[in-house]
Amino acid sequence: MNIIVVGLSHKTAPVEIREKIAFAPTAMERPLRQMVALPAISEGVIVSTCNRVELYATSRDIEAGVAQLKRFLSEYHSIPLDTLESHLYDHQGEEAIRHIFRVASSLESMVIGEPQILGQIKTAYGYAAEFKTAGLILNRFLHKAFSVAKRVRTETDIASNAVSVSFAAVELARKIFGSLEDKTVLLIGAGEMCELAARHFINNGVSSVLVTNRTLERAVKLAEEFNGRALPFDDFAHHLQQVDIILTSTGAPNFILSQKQVEEVIRIRRNKPMLLIDIAVPRDIDPRVNDIANVYLYDVDDLQGVVQANLKERHKEAKKAEGIIEQEIGQFYRWLGSLDIVPTIVSLRNKLEEIRRGELEKTFANFKDLGEREKKAIEALTSAIINKVLHQPTTVLKQAQNDGRRDGYVDAVRVLFDIHPTPPAGDIKDLDAHDDQE
């Protein structure tokens, strides 16, 4: 049995295509049922987000499976396959496993390490489980993908540095102040980004918020929202010595904070550090303020720079994540192989045993004068022959489980002995006991 993936993503398709191919989350039953009704497909899951649409399936016949899935996408959304084809990618076997592990771990996301994708795949799996289109293999496979994603998240720092400007400000503050708990934030002017950053600061422990604005009403309203205090605009400079973090985004044409002012404030604060975030364009704070000891001034471009550095760091962490994924692929691939191998061995043994029983009955019927002792000896003899004959093929099949010859051997045995095993869940317990430890 093989896992295959057919789909498209922000890397291969523009939004005009992606929006046409997306599946509505409210009506997943019909496409899922249609998908597993395809002759070459046995199990199916559909992942549909704004950046990617992917079909996960299991199939015995890879080529037919991929072709049927592509046709299904084109017919379901009434888009000619010619248009669609160039945007679609497909993976099978080990490649498919790698791809899905990477997607779930957010290595394929537009912003590496973003946390939403895992939830989206979980939802997609939820539909498939609800409509029973995910069977033994996809059930197990997706649970594996979730645990791989979790491992990547906990063992690497792929998601630990801010990739939004507003949150980057909070992280900078942490780098300077350590804990934000007893810190005071002053909001000057009202801009969307400033408000967002203020909200992040409050969520991260800042206890006291001051708000000032040219229109006092506005300041009062915002202050209420943040559970803070409003200051008249002409007055805010007198409160600076108690402020640790300033967020400013006024429409003022000139600097509203000069180097001299800040120098004076730092002196009164006895050198307690200050973080000044100036999101306004034109800027609100004289850039020379950054030269004052214990003052850290960041404008919009600086924050962008922080975000870029963080993204670079995430890409480095992604390399570590790839190592983890490679480990897990090997493990899962072996399990998948055992699904074919163990039932094949069992069926082969059953088949020979059946022949032996039949022949014994015939023989015993013909020779009625055989005593119990002779009968026992003949039983033992025939069993021994079967065991000896089976020994070598069984060993080879078990060894082949770990390498590429697996499918060839399994197919050969099936054809040569005319057996049709169905993968039972019970026989494989011993092979996967080790990978559910969390």
Q: Is residue 327 a contact residue for another protein (CB under 8 A)? A: no
Binding test (CB under 8 A) with another protein, winner from 27, 110, 309, 425: 309
Minimum CB separation of residue 178 from another protein in Å reads 4
194 is catalytic: no
| Member of 125, 236, 296, 332 binding another protein (CB under 8 A) | 296
Cα 341 to Cα 324: distance, rounded to the nearest angstrom: 26
Smallest gap from Cβ 176 to another protein, in A, equals 5
Q: Is 172 in the site for another protein (CB under 8 A)?
A: yes
Which residue number, 20 or 269, has a Cβ lying nearer to another protein?
269
| In the complex, minimum distance from the CB of residue 102 to another protein, in angstroms, rounded to a whole number | 21
Give the length of the chain. Answer: 438
Catalytic residue among 15, 27, 37, 50: 50
Nearer to another protein, 114 or 313 (CB): 313
Q: Does 157 bind another protein (CB under 8 A)?
A: yes
Out of 93, 191, 205, 273, the residue judged to bind another protein by CB under 8 A? 273
Q: Between residues 179 and 387, which has the closer beta carbon with respect to another protein?
A: 179
Determine, following the binding rule CB under 8 A, whether residue 191 of this chain makes contact with another protein. no
Counting contacts by CB under 8 A, is residue 24 touching another protein? no
* Separation CA 99–CA 7 (nearest Å): 11
Shortest spacing between CB 177 and another protein, in angstroms: 5
**Shortest spacing between CB 310 and another protein, in angstroms:** 8
The answer to the question of residue 306 lying near another protein (CB under 8 A) is yes
409 binds another protein (CB under 8 A): no
302 binds another protein, rule: CB under 8 A: yes
Q: Does 294 contact another protein by CB under 8 A?
A: yes
- Our finding on whether 263 is near another protein (CB under 8 A) is no
Stretch that binds another protein, among 74-82, 109-117, 193-201, 267-275 (CB under 8 A): 267-275
Question: Is 423 one of the binding residues for another protein (CB under 8 A)?
Answer: no
The count of residues interacting with another protein (CB under 8 A) is: 26
Positions touching another protein (CB under 8 A) are: 157, 161, 172, 174-179, 269-273, 290, 293-294, 296, 298, 302, 305-306, 309, 313, 316-317
Catalytic residues: 50
